[in-house]
Structure 1
Amino acid sequence: MLLNEKITIIRKMNNLTQEGFAEELGVSRQAVSKWETGTSIPDVQLLLRIADFYNLTLDQLVRDDFDLPISSLEEKKIAGDLSDKSSISIDDYLGKVCDVSMNSFRHSVIRNIKIVGRYKNLICFEKNGRYGFFNKNKSLGILAKREEDYVDQNDIIYGKCSVYVNKGTYFGGNTYAFSEIVSCVEDIIEVHTGKFVAKESLEDISVILMSDKINHSFN
């Protein structure tokens, strides 16, 4: 669970609006909004105060592998807000290094990626000279880690890659490893894995990870 998701949960479990939470911490409502969308991070002193709201240690609050212990009733109370895709504006994250929480068993958190562009619902990212994509509609939250310069790279890329397809379920899905994207026609990509050929809708694709720097965009 990402830090911004935890902050949202802690605020809601204390029955506070963003304005009320901001007053408790002595900050602006806009600051709380940025924390919850992941576009900024509180300083250490504020993180300690936020942790106190839920009787957590600072380590438990900031560690992604530590999920907040919440009841099923509490989970239902916050589920709608955490899954509200309208709160995620990709323009706020362009050029920034981020962690992305995905609603899928595989690639549940994609770490330290630089968001550099988009193609419809597929968000392009770069990491260590390799490009990939994740599906905005399958993401639960985005946490910006630091400012970076914007790089204009927003095309679907031909070339060798692995493709993870998940058609609406958390578990399961298909992984095409050591594959190659050869075409994209009317939002359907054609993936070759050896002699096997698959056609998948962009809406069903969760993550594309490029295996090299081939950079030929779809026309």
Structure 2
Amino acid sequence: MAKQLPYHTIHAIFSRFRAIEPEPKGELHHVNAFTLLVAVALSAQATDAGVNKATRPLFERVQTPQQMLDLGEAELVEAIKTIGLFRQKAKNVMKLSRILVDDYGGEVPSSRAALQSLPGVGRKTANVVLNMWFHQPAQAVDTHIFRVGNRTGIAPGRDVDAVERAIEDNIPAEFQQHAHHWLILHGRYICVARKPKCGICPIRDLCPYEDKSE
């Protein structure tokens, strides 16, 4: 785990990320807040590409909690059976859809506490929805962000909660809204787990990682 980078270095890193991709977007397919919530919940221990393959046709048919209830659990299971843990995820999606209809008028709430009270929705899922749909500077720490944060010293921490706090505490406010996506994209395509692509890394000269590859 690298030491926490100083403010000026972090500012320089995110300035480069912003120059390369001013408006980074998440890669999960969705059409509204509800489909985003479902997609993120389904993405646990699965790839975005794998989730998108199942949800693109699903979201042509289902775009609201009531439509999900009308679809039924059996049809949902069939639609998402290529995604890991699909049976339990289907149960959770049906339960959260019922709660959204009964308690929230069919709308997705915009508070972390309310989101986390839904079945199958943890802090990471809640933070993704808050960030992507409600444009709150919430930081969802996945494996990519955890790795990049620790490897580079941008946001070191021994667990995901510590890394989330480090992002909130140390990344300048002007970059908070998009920090989550910049870090995910960097970890997914350049600062990969086994052999990071340091030769094409835009922040190579600012990164303290010692085992740089070419």
TM over 0.5: no
Q: 1 or 2 for the larger relative contact order (CA 8 Å, sep ≥6)?
A: 2
Higher helix proportion: 2
Higher strand proportion: 1
